[in-house]
């Protein structure tokens, strides 16, 4: 399973973390994942991009999720890339200092700086306290100058 180009291969869809199967096979008391963010928006601002969205909740659309994971890439982000011009969510670059999730229905934002010029695509997932993971959000894009 070793590949000397694993990072590039992962980005385009061919990588499956071995630990993922173990995580999915374990029984959990809380089986309800946070809802997926459906209104992620990206707006260029001086020196970066501002993301905005509505907080999804912990169990579906209620409560407060535990953590966000926000990613960006210069290719459109998808759950599982097909080897074309897409990037796997897990292979995209992490955004540093994601905000803490707020209660479901709250508007949230995040300012991302230090991006190189060009089009950037953004997506996020929410997780609850037992690591149940939301579906991938909609993908937003912005042009950085």
Quick: pLDDT tens for 65-122: 999 999 999 999 999 988 779 999 999 999 999 999 999 999 999 999 999 999 999 9
Q: What are 138's two structure tokens?
A: 């909609």
Percent of the chain that is helix, strand, coil (3-state, to 5) = 10, 35, 50
Q: What is the chain's Cα-based Rg?
A: 16
112 by DSSP, 3-state: which? Answer: strand
* CB-facing half-sphere around the CA of 123: CA atoms within 13 A: 23
Counted residue by residue, the chain has a size of 145
Model pLDDT for residues 27-42, shown as the tens digit of each residue = 557 678 999 999 999 9
Q: How far apart are CA 125 and CA 79, in angstroms?
A: 10
**Burial of residue 22, with CB atoms counted within 10 A of its CB: 0-12 exposed, 13-18 middle, 19 or more buried:** exposed
Question: pTM of the prediction?
Answer: 0.81
10 by DSSP, 3-state: which? Answer: helix
Asked if residue 65 lies in contact with residue 55, where contact means CB atoms within 8 angstroms, the answer is: yes
List strands edge to edge, sheet with 107-113. Answer: 41-45, 48-54, 107-113
């Amino acid at each position: 399973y070793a590949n000397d180009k694993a990072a590039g291969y992962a980005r385009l869809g061919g990588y499956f973390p071995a630990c993922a199967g173990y995580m999915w096979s374990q029984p959990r008391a809380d089986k309800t994942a946070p809802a997926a963010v459906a209104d992620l928006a990206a707006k260029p601002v001086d020196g970066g991009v501002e993301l905005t969205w509505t907080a999804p909740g912990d169990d579906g659309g209620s409560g407060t999720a535990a953590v966000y994971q926000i990613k960006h890439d210069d290719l459109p982000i998808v759950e599982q890339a097909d080897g074309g011009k897409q990037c796997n969510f897990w292979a995209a670059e992490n955004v540093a200092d994601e905000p803490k999730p707020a209660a479901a229905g709250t508007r949230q934002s995040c300012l991302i700086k230090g991006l190189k010029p060009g089009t950037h695509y953004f997506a996020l997932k929410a997780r609850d306290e037992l690591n149940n993971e939301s579906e991938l959000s909609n993908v937003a894009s912005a042009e950085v100058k």
